Amino acid sequence: MDQALRSRCERFLANRDTLRKAFPWENPYLHAVCAGILTQKNQTAEVDRLHDCRDLLRSRTGFFSNFRGIAQEAMITLLSLEPAPQEKLDQGLRLYDALKDHFRPSQYLPLAALLLADQVEERQYGAFAARTRAIYNGMKEAHCFLTGVEDSVFAALLALSPRPVEELIAETEACYDRLKHRPFGTGQFTQTLSHVLALGEGSAQEKCDRTLALYDALKDRGRKYSTGHELGTLGLLTLVPGEVGALAEEVVEVDHFLSQQKGYGLMGVGKAQRLMHGVMLTAGYILDQNQAVLGAAAVSTTVSLIVAQEVALFTVVAAGSAAGIAASSTGQE
């Protein structure tokens, strides 16, 4: 492992430990994911700033607000990255109001609103919300029983693309159809992976073949990737540039490094989560090393590959983070 990647891993661990200190009662799975977001932004977590952003969130939202739900720590982390967190929160609240015109309130909509409020012109919030709903409707029509409220986040991400709604839905379906057999099977997590892959450029066949090649390359190196809620993050690695074997080697090196660190032993995070963190850190590192091709891997150059920074958060929160913080609802209409 080169020194730059090692330093990234060390910052990730330091950020995770700071988040644990700042929010000792929050879900431990989210500590690591939020640490990943901070690390991708080359930021170091500060307890006082995190608490200030927590207090800001509490002052602007009620006790039962969906902004204070399962992703509260994530939203506090996102606010802490902003030079003007109050302005960012106000934007998120306004986009959330627009989204509520098309969706039932949920604990996932605030996450989408806060992430994307400054990626959409405020005068376009209503149109963006309607487009998000149209994409969500396409998802639900294709997979009525798999599509739940968590998919509204992915629908919002896809709504940033200039591509027609029908084309976006067709892309996700083409990815799902190619992935549903071996080794991932049919189900919610394969659908999540198809949503992630649809964010990137290239044909469905190319992206799916590359995903399967990465899965096999990791397996050949003794790292069988989980087909559970971690699966969506594997799509992140698919979208970054690099030869498959070299990417797998980098992930294995990071995974080995993490296995020797506090919090990843017998009483810590399991192997599946650890490998997901390895993929998250490796992908972020490679993206930093390849800024020139960033736009080609993302839904648009203005987004700067949001999925690279937050896809792990989406998949963990959407699946209930394996600790039961939220059971996915599949009954949204």
Please report the pLDDT score of residue 289 as a whole number: 79
Asked if the bond preceding 105 is cis, omega within 30° of 0, the reply is: no
Judge contact between 231 and 189, C-beta under 8 A.
yes
Residue 293 gets which letter from DSSP? G
Quote the CA–CA distance of 124 and 159 in Å, as a whole number.
12
Please report the pLDDT score of residue 290 as a whole number: 73
pLDDT tens digits for range 130-143 = 999 999 999 999 99
Amino acid identity for residue 28 in this structure: P
Please report the pLDDT score of residue 310 as a whole number: 65
Quote the CA–CA distance of 74 and 91 in Å, as a whole number.
16
Q: Which residues of the chain have pLDDT under 50?
A: 294-304, 308, 321-333
Quote the CA–CA distance of 209 and 122 in Å, as a whole number.
39
- DSSP state letters, 162-215: -S-HHHHHHHHHHHHHHHTTTTS-SSHHHHHHHHHHHTSSS-HHHHHHHHHHHH
Please report the pLDDT score of residue 324 as a whole number: 45
Q: What size, in residues, is the chain?
A: 333
Please report the pLDDT score of residue 88 as a whole number: 96
Quote the CA–CA distance of 180 and 182 in Å, as a whole number.
6
- DSSP state letters, 144-159: TTT--TTHHHHHHHHH
pLDDT tens digits for range 5-60 = 999 999 999 999 999 999 998 877 889 989 988 998 889 999 999 999 999 999 99
